[in-house]
Amino acid sequence: MAFHDTPTSRTSMSVAFLSFLLMLVRANNASITVYNDKDLLEFPLNLEFLEAEFFLFGALGRGLDSVAPELTEGGPPPVGARLAKLGFLVRDIILQFALQEVGHLRAIRNTVRGFPRPMLNLSKEVFGEVMNNVFGRRLHPPFDPYANDINYLLASYVIPYVGLTGYVGANPLLQNFTSKALVAGLLGVESGQDAVIRTLLYERREVLVEPYGVSVVEFTNRISKLRNKLGKKGVKDEGLVVPKWLGAEGKIEGNVLAGDKYSLAYGRSPEEVLRIVYGTGDEHRPGGFYPRGADGRIAKSYLSNNLNLPNNA
């Protein structure tokens, strides 16, 4: 049968070819996802809930259900969180952090609808497993984040910085002024919290963490190395002391603030953040601090294996 080259036939072929290309893109590049401002502002609630509960329980022995129950929207209480054995200074600082996180939850909720508090596991067992992975072996006795100042500060080193890098990664993707202003404000305070935690640990960098006989600086370097491994996007995390070439201007080993070769903050995508806080290195596979997975449309899209989010909120 002869083929007739007409405008209609050419259009049909073009449509078929474009459809085929679209199928290839979806099959081979499913990780390319367009997020809107609502998605990007809701996602950090997962980290803000985690930080708020960890700091509140650490300082007060009680969490959002006591301090600001309306923010939980009936979400399940965290598992295993408890009062930490802290000295006056560290407890005072952690309580300030805790109340700041409550404010962050309110600020985000005033901008987007959000979601109820997700299931969080803040038990010493989860932190213990993190530290086992950090060292590639089981620590004896298991690491207890609530045991003393140094352990709690090391556990604090594990969490907030991940959220900070998430804000840095989200900021250039935001479209409207309100969203950018909110993230800038959140990022400023989260960066301050991270700086305080790192400074307190840097002051104690040569102290041996008992009973393991490993220095504070070695803990931080190994924690950062694990987060880089889980994130799967190269170096976006640095410990308190680094090789001189990796320090500021390539001239110093002390690294109280992490930054790239221009001393700019590292950014992470939501996928990288999920890989780290799940502890699985896979945004599709929950675990760690989020046994049932994180909430919001971005996180849920990976749990449902539907990687293509619609563009509208």
Per-residue pLDDT tens digits for 20-35: 444 444 444 444 567 8
Please tell me the predicted confidence (pLDDT) of residue 305: 59
Residue whose pair of structure tokens reads 């976006």 in the numeric block: 236
Q: Is the pLDDT confidence value at 42 over 70? A: yes
The type of residue at 209 is V
Whether residue 136 is contained in a domain is answered as yes
Q: What pTM does this model have? A: 0.86
Count of domains for the chain: 1
pLDDT of residue 209: 97
Whether 287 is covered by a domain: the verdict is: yes
Shortest CA distance to 56 belongs to which of 45, 68, 47? 68
Burial 262-273 (b: 16+ CB within 10 A, else e): eeebbbbbbbbb
> Quick check: 234 and 224 in contact, CB under 8 A?
no
Distance separating alpha carbons of residues 35 and 300, to the nearest angstrom:
13
Report pLDDT digits (tens) over 263-310: 999 999 999 999 999 999 999 999 999 999 999 999 999 997 544 444
Interatomic CA distance for residues 34 and 11, integer angstroms: 28
**Per this entry, what is the length of the chain?**
313
In a domain, 44, yes or no: yes
Structure confidence by residue, pLDDT tens digits, 157-188: 998 899 999 999 999 999 999 999 999 999 99
Percent of the chain with pLDDT over 90: 85
Is the torsion defined by CA of 27, 28, 34, 35 positive or negative?
positive
pLDDT mean across residues, the chain: 90
Residue 4: per-residue pLDDT:
53
Quote the Cα angle for 92-264-130, to 5°: 55
- Helix segments in 171-280, DSSP class H: 177-203, 216-231, 270-278
Tell me the residue range of the domain where 168 lies.
35-303
Q: Give the residues across from 241 on adjacent strands.
A: 254
14 domain residue, yes or no: no
Asked if residue 157 belongs to a domain, the reply is: yes
Supply 105's token pair.
Answer: 């939850």
SS3 56: helix
The answer to whether the beta carbons of residues 264 and 168 sit under 8 Å apart is no
Q: What does the block give as tokens for 151?
A: 């352990």
Mean pLDDT of 78-101: 98
CA atoms lying within 13 Å on the CB side of residue 127: 24
- 18 falls within a domain: no
Residue 312 falls inside a structural domain: no
